[in-house]
Amino acid sequence: MISRNHRIIQNKERKRDISYLTNLPGAAAWLQIFNADLDEPETFAAAIEGCDGVFHMAHPLDFAKKDTEEVKLKRVTTALHGILRACADSKTVHRVVYTSSISAAMFSATDENSWADVEFIRSLNTFGGPYTVTKTVAERAAIDLAAELDLDLVSVLPTWITGPFICPSLPDTVHISILMHLKESSLVHVDDVARAHIHLLEYPEAKGRYIVAAAQFTIQELSRFLSAKYPHYQMPSPDLWKDVTAVKSSGLSTKKLEATGFKTQV
């Protein structure tokens, strides 16, 4: 998504129903849709031309491992290079806010200096591992290329995003939270993630990476909360998750983001 006139880019090969966007209040006057393709990075230039800031949010989600890591990394980094070069060539983009993930700081994460150990993640061969690897490699590539292009780039690292959604399909992060695949983690509301992107685009001194996190929880706490709030739904027995390998992203520091004046509201 690109700032000024609320421009949004969609995959040009997917003729999806985007009425949930075009029917938003004010969309007719303020929203522009551009077609582009990650495999053809030059197709992003038209949407970026004349913009003040860019929100880079495109990243293939492939928890099912349909494509190899090599294929995914090539798609992501090729598109990333084209998009960032178009931002630099525009001469109008003053900042890119890059959407990374807490995955890129997993296992050792306490603050923004933490990075996921890619080789260790690969060795685990666990659920979501390829996604973690590609997010980590892509964010490092974004930071390095932005420095090469003298482009101001800030990274947002949200934890598991939840909350209401307007798209017609269930977002993967919400689906995973509902399935209780996480034994101990952190949730953040989608509205706060959106607000953090806008805040970091507009905050003059923003620099580097920013963790966006809110509520810490264990799977037991989440189960009790959902049971109390939605008693008509049957929660799974604790026996079902006793052998689930813990994926921890708790104990995270959000001090850097809070120091900019940002506070989660939801």
Q: What is the DSSP string of 110-127?
A: SSTT----HHHHHHHT-T
Chain segment 159-185, per-residue pLDDT in tens: 888 888 888 887 776 766 666 555 567
Q: What is the reported pLDDT for 173?
A: 67
Q: What is the reported pLDDT for 1?
A: 43
The predicted model scores a pTM of: 0.84
State the Cα–Cα distance between residues 46 and 65, nearest whole angstrom. 32
Domain ranges in the chain?
7-170+187-214+252-258
Those residues of the chain that have pLDDT short of 50 are 1-4
State the Cα–Cα distance between residues 171 and 184, nearest whole angstrom. 20
**Number of C-beta neighbours around residue 139 at 10 A:** 25
Residue 68 structure tokens: 């190899």
Q: What CA dihedral angle connects 77, 139, 101 and 82, to 10 degrees?
A: -40
State the Cα–Cα distance between residues 242 and 140, nearest whole angstrom. 35
Catalytic, 229? Answer: no
Residue 94 structure tokens: 């003053």
Q: What is the reported pLDDT for 146?
A: 97
Q: What is the reported pLDDT for 3?
A: 42
Choosing from 135, 183, 229, 255, the catalytic residue is 135
- What single-letter amino acid sits at 138? A
Assigned CATH topology for domain 7-170+187-214+252-258: Rossmann fold (3.40.50)
